[in-house]
Structure 1
């Protein structure tokens, strides 16, 4: 009996979602194809009927994860009717919740260090997705792309450092300082 129409795409999407979650949490190189497939509830034997290689999956996972992050940030911005949308996004992005929920967080702080050693294909997709994130932040803040790049860099860098330290007080301080500076950047 043949699979219903759209089955292969649904399976592919499950694999991409599993990969994005795994890469956000563990990075690229520490995650195996069998681990990703198990996370999708599948056996690793079926991987190559959906992807040519792991690099192709990394590229797809980057696209998916940035779309997911933009949707999440847009939803947070739309729900807060009292504050400027960009301030709500900054507060969410640099929150203890986002810091601690790596599996669903932004992929930029999770993979930036590894991407520089990835294939040209992955770096090209990552570059495009980073540009898309900069455009989202710039449009939301009503600032030019240069200022949007600085704002996103401040947010990503603050989150990376806050996730890196083992002192909760310092981690929270890094998030607070990042929020303050990011909001000042938007106002100037």
Structure 2
């Protein structure tokens, strides 16, 4: 049975959504293709009709997830006063909700350590997407790329550490300190 192009595109989107949520929650190595396909409501056998390999899926899921995070943060920035856009992005990124819901959030803190040991293809896509994320932040801090790299690095590191500790008070303190320092970078 042959499927229409729109059906294949819709199914591929379901697979990418399932994979990005699974990778955000559990990392790459802990997630199997059958788990991803089950999460998409599909059978394992259909995977290779959409992706050549798990690496191809990982690369596209990273792209999907980072673009989704950027779109969410862009929407938050658009709703803020012009002089508060970057502060709004920092507050949203380093929120308790973002910390507590990794399956909905930024994939960068979850996968960075695994990506460094991934294939060149995955690393290249991840690099391009992170560079795009730097550019997004750069537009909010008046085209200062170095400043945007420092802000993103502070946000990602703070979120990673806040998710890693088992002391809720310390976790909240890490988020607060990350917000404060990222906003200080903006004002310099």
TM bracket, shorter-chain basis: over 0.9
Residue in structure 2 matched with residue 21 of structure 1 by the alignment:
21
1:7 equivalent to 2:10? Answer no
1:40 maps to 40
TM-score, reference length from structure 2 = 0.97
Q: Would the aligned equivalents of 1:115 and 1:123 in 2 still touch at CA under 8 Å?
A: yes
RMSD over equivalenced CA pairs, Å? 1.2
Which residue of structure 2 lines up, in the alignment, with residue 74 of structure 1?
Answer: 74
Match of 1:180 in 2: 180
5+ unaligned residues in a row in structure 1: which ranges?
none
The answer for unaligned runs of 5 or more in structure 2 is: none
Q: Is the 8 A contact 1:37 1:43 kept in 2?
A: yes
- Distance in 1 (CA, whole Å) between partners of 2:143 and 2:161 is 25
Partner of 2:156: 156
Once residues 83 and 148 of structure 1 are traced to their aligned partners in structure 2, the CA distance between those partners, rounded to angstroms, is 16
Residue 129 of structure 2 is aligned to residue 144 of structure 1: no
* Distance across 2 between alignment mates of 1:70 and 1:5: 27
**Is contact 2:141-2:147 (8 Å) kept?**
no
- Structure 1 stretches of 4+ with a deviation exceeding 3 A read 1-5
1:139 offset after TM fit, Å?
0.7
> SS state of the match for residue 51, structure 2?
coil
- When normalised by structure 1's length, the TM-score is 0.97
Alignment partners' CA distance in 1, 2:150 and 2:5: 45
Counterpart CA distance in 1 for 2:185 and 2:28 is: 32
CA shift at 1:73, angstroms? Answer: 0.2
TM-aligned CA deviation for residue 143 of structure 1: 4.1
Asked if the contact 1:143/1:186 (under 8 Å) is kept, the reply is no
Q: Does 1:126 align with 2:152?
A: no
Task: List per-residue Cα deviations over 1:27-80 (Å, max 9, x = no partner).
Answer: 000000000000100000100111110000000001101110011001111223
Tell me, yes or no, if structure 1 residue 167 matches structure 2 residue 164: no
Number of the residue aligned with 1:96: 96
